[in-house]
Structure 1
Amino acid sequence: MKKSKHLIITLFVCLLCVTAAHAQFGGFGKKLLDKGSDMVSGGGLSKILKQPQAISTSFKDVDKTGSKPPSFMEGKTPEPLYLLPKTPEGAYKLCAGYYEMTNKSYCLHAGTRGPSTGDGYMLAPVIGPKRDVVILILKHAEKHAEVDQHSIQVLLWAIIARTRFVDMSNSIKLTATKLLSTDELLMLEGGALGVLPASVMDKAKSQLPPAAQSVFEAENNIRQLAASSNASYEDMEKYAVLAGLAPQPDPEVPSGIWSLHPDGYYIRFIPHGYQRTTVQIYVPQELISTKPGLIYDGPNGIACPANVGAQRLAQTNEPLNPDYTKKLKVVCN
């Protein structure tokens, strides 16, 4: 019975991919616009504006209790985090000590600017209707080296823009099918929007605060690009990541600030653009004594900026340019 269910879902996904491969964007785009128009008829615009973002994490979700200043571990030298042993699910098993890793990271907030000098980032939970599928994509990506970072980012942009799987281009569907099981693909449906016509966009933006207008418009543009077989990563990036500097950083949340993780260790994020983030972790010896089995699992947290105009960054367990010839100086039991 279970095999039959999987076969039906697989055939369904294949049918969607074939349909997308033969669709011309002109006709397909018109269907999306018609869908968007239908959604706002009869007072539907208010419902759309109240619909939560696919990933809704904001700085309001950050717990600043126990945070430490940037100078907290000044003068100490971190060891490579990626040399720690890992769990079968890909998380790092933590030992007492100070660790660092520069890993792949991803933009999860379309219509905002990239990290700026001086922006303070703190740990926040992943919240929103698409939380589980986004975390799965980030976890599975480590096992699929054949899928490049740009392809994964485009899929994530399509998801956070609330694009239905059936409306995605064939190339984005292909990325999704490589990273997700047939059952997991079904998580991409629901909570999605069509492409809204310009007249509807103008009306919608007039009902939104200024900070939300660019995000709402960027998501609409991304939905349209996600349906196109000709749209490139660069086309989508220009809507997802705005040029220029974000508004002034929050002086109370300086760059390099440390967050106290709910599990008791300290963590901080130093972004290098939105595609790379240096993560530093300090694990006190007394914590290990009371909490054996402590782990760090990047995709379960977001590097969230205090600057509302900057990108929130999804984290991964994938190190960039690791040097596995190095040896840990600490002894992990």
Structure 2
Amino acid sequence: MIRRNFLIGTAFAGLALTHSAARAQFGNIGGIVKGLGGTPKLPKLLSGPEPVSTSIKDAVYGDPSRDGWKAPARVGDLAALERTAAGGFVLAAGYHRMTAQSYCLHAGTHGPGGGDGYLYAPLKGSARDAVTSILQNSVAKPHIAQRDIQLLLWAIVSRSKFENLNNNLKVVASELLTPQQIASLNRGALSVLTSSEFQRVAGGVPEPLRSVMQAESRMRGMFSGPSLAYADMERVAMLAGAVPRGEGSIDTPATRWSHHPDGYWVRYIPSGYSQTQVEIFVEAGSGAVGTTYDPATCVAVPGNTARQRLAQSGRVYGR
């Protein structure tokens, strides 16, 4: 136990926050707001790469020609397929399905629902490697609770200081990330803003971007606080009330398939943000037979951009 505590302490020791005026405060919001036209000019503090930047612009694989297509009556268990060391699935011909653990990657937005469909897109962003490692490594560590993984991902997307996480999350981080990855995430962290500081920085930012910025700022404060309740964090991440149609949304029925660039079709049907029914169809004799579906590199992107994008994992929901 002493040795383990020493190793954990070593992984977090000396992680100092470095600040740069050119560093992103809230992802690529500056570029997005500029594209809206007629909105206030944002300070340089708000420009730069997001930890997770996958967006509707990356979800170019939707296949409307499959709308109304009837899947085969015979359904295989995706979780029963051969697995890779990283938790991926070696695909066989046929129709496969499983209910996977999924994770919110976009705090300050609305959860899935309302008949809005989801599309496949690749995981992108400055924290892509860390997020992928968390999702891949968690497959072989079923003792780590799904909620702890979600909290770790929220810490990343909100740019919270890893040195300020509670001891439990520090242990989780040390099991799923390398010390180098932890140090890199900590260098990109931001300080907690007071209400007046947030107002000065984001006072002129339009919705829905302001809600995202506010949620991330509140999360940083909660991760730095003396106690951390999952229900409180969830309330900050999930917007309640009527769901608007987000900027750049595309009409996407809930049954829409995506044609993955590796040659198979994949469909995501979430039930809330924490579980997603994943369906994959592989044509017999196609080049997709024998390829790997690695959910850790995939994001389920909502056709309505006011809703949350969802990270996928190779862990079966409820296990």
Shared fold per TM-score greater than 0.5:
yes
Alignment of 1:262 with 2:261, yes or no, is yes
Q: Offset of 1:168 from its aligned partner?
A: 2.5
Alignment of 1:46 with 2:57, yes or no, is no
Alignment of 1:242 with 2:239, yes or no, is yes
Q: Offset of 1:166 from its aligned partner?
A: 2.0
The match for 2:203 is 206
CA RMSD of aligned residues (A): 2.8
Q: Which amino acid aligns with 2:267?
A: R
Q: Offset of 1:293 from its aligned partner?
A: 3.2
Structure 1 CA distance for aligned equivalents of residues 57 and 123 of structure 2: 12
- The aligned runs of 1:14-29 (5 Å cut-off) are 15=13
Is the 8 Å Cα contact of residues 282 and 289 (structure 2) preserved in structure 1? Answer: no
Aligned with residue 73 of structure 2, among 73, 76, 81:
76
Unmatched 5+ residue regions in structure 1? 1-7, 18-31, 323-333
Aligned with residue 295 of structure 2, among 288, 298, 302:
298
Aligned with residue 197 of structure 1, among 188, 194, 209:
194
Q: Which amino acid aligns with 1:212?
A: L
Structure 1 CA distance for aligned equivalents of residues 62 and 240 of structure 2: 33
Q: Offset of 1:275 from its aligned partner?
A: 0.4
Alignment of 1:274 with 2:273, yes or no, is yes
Corresponding residue SS for 2:315: strand
Indicate the larger mover: 308-317 or 61-70. Answer: 61-70
Q: Which amino acid aligns with 2:105?
A: L
Deviations 1:9-31 (A, max 9, x none): 865335479xxxxxxxxxxxxxx
Q: Which amino acid aligns with 1:228?
A: G
Aligned with residue 93 of structure 2, among 91, 96, 103:
96
Q: Offset of 1:227 from its aligned partner?
A: 1.0
Structure 2 CA distance for aligned equivalents of residues 65 and 169 of structure 1: 40
Q: Which amino acid aligns with 1:108?
A: L
Alignment of 1:230 with 2:227, yes or no, is yes
Corresponding residue SS for 1:73: coil
Is the 8 Å Cα contact of residues 68 and 257 (structure 1) preserved in structure 2? Answer: no
The match for 1:310 is 307
Alignment of 1:12 with 2:26, yes or no, is no
The match for 1:28 is none
Is the 8 Å Cα contact of residues 264 and 288 (structure 2) preserved in structure 1? Answer: no
Q: Please, what TM-score do these two structures have when normalized by structure 2?
A: 0.83
Structure 2 CA distance for aligned equivalents of residues 281 and 291 of structure 1: 11
Structure 2 CA distance for aligned equivalents of residues 291 and 108 of structure 1: 28
Structure 2 CA distance for aligned equivalents of residues 226 and 156 of structure 1: 12
Change (3 A) 1:9 1:128: farther
Deviations 1:71-92 (A, max 9, x none): 2234634211111111222211
Structure 2 CA distance for aligned equivalents of residues 107 and 50 of structure 1: 23
Change (3 A) 1:248 1:76: farther
Q: Which amino acid aligns with 2:274?
A: Q
Is the 8 Å Cα contact of residues 16 and 166 (structure 1) preserved in structure 2? Answer: no
Q: Which amino acid aligns with 1:144?
A: K
The match for 2:179 is 182
Unmatched 5+ residue regions in structure 2? 1-5, 25-41
Deviations 1:193-252 (A, max 9, x none): 111121221233233231110000000000000112312111111111112342248672
Corresponding residue SS for 1:216: helix
Q: Offset of 1:191 from its aligned partner?
A: 2.4
Deviations 1:131-180 (A, max 9, x none): 11011001111122221011111111111001122232333222211222
The match for 1:5 is none
Greater C-alpha radius of gyration: 1
Aligned with residue 86 of structure 1, among 83, 86, 89:
83
The match for 2:144 is 147
Is the 8 Å Cα contact of residues 70 and 255 (structure 1) preserved in structure 2? Answer: no
Change (3 A) 1:128 1:286: same
Corresponding residue SS for 1:189: helix
Q: Offset of 1:53 from its aligned partner?
A: 2.2
Indicate the larger mover: 108-117 or 45-54. Answer: 45-54
Q: Which amino acid aligns with 1:13?
A: A
- The aligned runs of 1:99-118 (5 Å cut-off) are 99-118=96-115
Corresponding residue SS for 1:95: coil
Select the structure that is richer in helix. 1
Structure 2 CA distance for aligned equivalents of residues 291 and 222 of structure 1: 41
Change (3 A) 1:187 1:276: same
Q: Please, what TM-score do these two structures have when normalized by structure 1?
A: 0.80
Is the 8 Å Cα contact of residues 12 and 179 (structure 2) preserved in structure 1? Answer: no
Deviations 1:13-69 (A, max 9, x none): 35479xxxxxxxxxxxxxx9xx99xx99xxxx8232113321111111111464444
Is the 8 Å Cα contact of residues 245 and 306 (structure 2) preserved in structure 1? Answer: no
Identity %: 37
Corresponding residue SS for 2:255: coil
